[in-house]
Amino acid sequence: MIEILVSEAIAALTVLYTLYRYLLPKPITGIPYNKEATRSLLGDVSTIQKDSPGNIFGWIINQSRRHGLIFQLWLGPSQKPTVIITDFRGEARSFHITVTTGSQWKARRRLLQDLIALKFLNNVAAPNIYRSATLLLDLWKKKAELADGKPFLVEHDLFFAALDALRQAATDDKAVDFPIAAVHPALEAVLHTIDNVEVVIATGFPKLAWFIIGLLPHIRRRRAVRNELVINQVLHAIDRFNTLGKQHDEDTHVKSAVDFMVSRQVGLAQKDSTLASNWLEAMRDEFISDNLDVREKLLKSLRIAHTAAVTEHRLPTRSEICDTSIPYLDAVIEESLRLSHTGIFQDRESTEDILILGYYIPKGTHIMMTNKGPSFTEPALDIEEGIRSPTCQAAAQEHGFRAWDGEGMDKYNPERWLVLDDNGRMKFNSTAGPALPFGLGLRGCFGRKLAYLELKMLTTLLVWTFELQTSPEALSSYESLEGLTRKPSQCYARVKVRS
């Protein structure tokens, strides 16, 4: 009897050990990795949670200094390795991981294409952004008066202004406190959805965590509120189209992005029956520089460009801001996006077996590209040019390659984006050097034009209206919080209304 029990125990242990070995991470041959990760079912997750639980982004960037410009990590149990690339140069635009795949993706892209058109940006988005921005100015004027020279929290103000919400909230014990206004239930549901994504990612078990969270009653209620909002807005847009759209005048019935999408879909329905199920919303980050010289140059550039507004002692109008090209303003925005690193990584999945920087990467591999560290905010790691792909080498010979001067790559310097044209005039060059605030290619953020428009308006109006003064060191840290995106751990402003 004992012999039978011993045999069964040995067999069970053998099966368990075999299963354990099977579930251990399997590296892609030749690509550097952390050896200890292959001895843990959690891969690199346990090391990340022990060494840097609050700064996963920084931990991954540090791995590039250890392994080089390409390496692999295991960011969850029983998962394939994720390949990390910390080099900006790459394939030409026809590189297959940027090629559209599948009718569903094409249908969604087609449905959203009007939302990046100038007609939508100028006639629908711009008026709403301008109205929200002027309300933000009024709010900050009142807060500046009550704060009496002290800093106050502005994170919620900027966030809700970006979402066209008119109820801001700000509070902190070490600064001036303001009461918190109630947020619309539908918007609150959307914001909690973002928080849920951050919680799920942090667990290291996203599929299981998402399933468990979905069972909680308060999560189910918020999802119901969110879905009701989406359905109601689409139905209202359909009613407006049916009532006013027959006049063939979009200016009459198109007042929002949903109106544009409904109008577009009705037109497509005459050709096919494709139905898209969702849309994506672009988020933007506001970078407030502590550099006095930059602020003075920016204000001077704005006043030179908007002479009528200066003469008439008023704000620049919406059309003046949209239609006026100000290279230094564009440079300030681009440099703010470059260093804010709001989108932590760019994600792709290889659609076939590929060779990157001399390393074989099989089909279906998750690939993440950084926007900080080597070649972005510090000198690129050395690599022999012959290892790069023929298309990459050809692109460099034909167009040159984007690279910053090695010194001061991590410093805030908008002038790095400015060049002189043939007539000796200062010009903004959006391809002056490496930056990936919205990704590249067809799968880059579709809302980037909307984000740039919003940043242009907000930056112009805030700098025009307020003197942005430096906050105390205890309230002006550049440390960040990581979740679905990166956001500042402290976001205070000390402002004075310009006379």
Separation of alpha carbons 459 and 452, rounded Å: 10
Parallel, antiparallel or unpaired: strands 366-370 and 82-85: parallel
Assess contact for 430 and 325: CB atoms under 8 A. no
Q: Which residues pair with 469 in a beta bridge?
A: 494
Q: Report in angstroms the alpha-carbon separations of 232 from 133, 264, 282, 303, 372.
A: 26, 18, 21, 44, 41
Edge-to-edge order in the sheet of strand 152-153:
152-153, 492-497, 466-469
Closest CA to 380 of 91, 94, 98, 90: 90
Closest CA to 42 of 203, 191, 199: 203
Provide DSSP, 321-335.
HHH---HHHHHHHHH
Counting other chains too, the contacts that 411-420 makes at CB distance below 8 Å and 24 or more residues apart are 412/289, 412/291, 412/294, 412/335, 412/336, 412/339, 413/335, 414/294, 414/328, 414/331, 414/332, 414/334, 414/335, 415/331, 416/331, 416/335, 417/330, 417/331, 417/334, 417/335, 418/327, 418/328, 418/331
445 labeled part of a ligand binding site? yes
| Angle in degrees, 0-180, between the axes of helices 185-203 and 206-213, rounded to the nearest 10 | 140
Enumerate the known binding-site residues: 445
Enumerate the known binding-site residues for heme: 445
